[in-house]
Amino acid sequence: MLHPPSVAALPIGRRGVVLVPTPLSQRLAAAGTSAEVVHAFRRARAAFIAGERLDMTALAAQMGVDRTSLFRWVGNRDALLSEVLWSLAEPTLDRIDATERSTGPDRVVAVLTRFTGALIQALYFRQFLRTEPVRALKLLTTAASEVQRRLVATVESVLTEEEAAGLDLPLPAHDLAYLLVRVAESFTFADLIAGERPDIDRAAAALAHVMRTDVPARPRVPALAPPLPTTSTEHP
């Protein structure tokens, strides 16, 4: 996948939304988006961060509308959950990359390792995996997953940048990005996939092996949840 210069200029987390848009992400980003759409999204996001199960009937009641209106605004439950999940991943990826000083394969490994660590350590994310494991894997790791496609597109954009700077990739950028994301997933969701403990150190070693570089020192992992926006109508 070739990325236009306008995408390359974006923070890496934002690239996923631009490269893999959804009806809800486009609605949230559009000028003149109704306050109801933004409000419903923020309520859902706040509930998710609080570790609550996203209940569309309850959310519609909180908004004072019927489910039909809510679905018209934000799509079905899977669409809303996917957008909430990426809204938390986006600023986390941005913070990680903004503080990462390495380049080449070390940058790629460090960004994915630190992001994997953020997922492993986020209590509300682990709560979601415990309470809805089948749905979580569907929304995060399958072909139906906008979240996975966005993460692959994001990693591919980073690989493309590093390739332009002289990095020799062992595979085409898209194929390598997909492989790296699947490796990261295998350790992030090890408890659901194989009954093993999620492990950031093993993830780092595996990612470094794929990228043929040294295992990075254990980095500080940023919090996954950013502050909730209160006034902007842009995509949170």
Question: At 65, which CATH number?
Answer: 1.10.357.10
Query: What 8-state DSSP symbol labels residue 31?
Result: T
Query: For residues 33 and 27, is the Cβ–Cβ distance under 8 A?
Result: yes
Tens of pLDDT along 18-40? 999 999 999 998 867 789 999 99
d(CA 182, CA 207): 10
The verdict on residue 229 lying in a domain is no
- The total of structural domains in the chain comes to 1
In a domain, 138, yes or no: yes
> How many other CB atoms are there within 10 angstroms of residue 174's CB atom?
15
At 212 the three-state DSSP class reads coil
2 in any annotated domain: no
Q: So what's the pLDDT on residue 212?
A: 86
Q: Which domain holds residue 152?
A: 12-211
CA 85 to chain centre: 6
Angle at 223 between CA 217 and CA 228, to 5 degrees: 155
pLDDT of 197: 94
The pTM of the full predicted model, rounded to 2 decimals, is 0.88
Q: Give the E-state strand segments of 111-228 in sequence order.
A: none
Whole-number CA gyration radius for the chain: 18
**pLDDT in single tens digits along all 236 residues of the chain:** 556 667 888 999 999 999 999 999 999 988 677 899 999 999 999 999 999 999 999 999 999 999 999 999 999 999 999 999 999 999 999 999 999 999 999 999 999 999 999 999 999 999 999 999 999 999 999 877 899 999 999 999 999 999 999 999 999 999 999 999 999 999 999 999 999 999 999 999 999 999 987 665 565 556 665 544 333 333 44
Determine, yes or no, domain membership for 116. yes
Position 32 scores a pLDDT of: 72
Residue 224 within a domain = no
Task: Report the pLDDT value the prediction gives residue 232, as an integer from 0 to 100.
Answer: 36
Q: Identify which of 52, 65, 205 has the alpha carbon closest to the alpha carbon of residue 131.
A: 52
Q: Yes or no: say if 215 and 205 are a contact pair by the CB < 8 Å rule.
A: yes
Which SS3 state, helix, strand or coil, does residue 43 take?
helix
CB atoms within 10 A of CB 225: 18
pLDDT of 30 reads 87
| Residue 93 within a domain | yes
Render pLDDT for 116-130 as a digit per residue (tens, 0 to 9). 999 999 999 999 999
Residue 183 lies in a domain: yes
Residue position matching structure tokens 């486009």: 26
Residue 142 is predicted with a pLDDT of 87
Contact yes or no for 63/70 (Cβ under 8 A): yes
d(CA 68, CA 72): 6
The reply to whether 223 falls in a domain is no
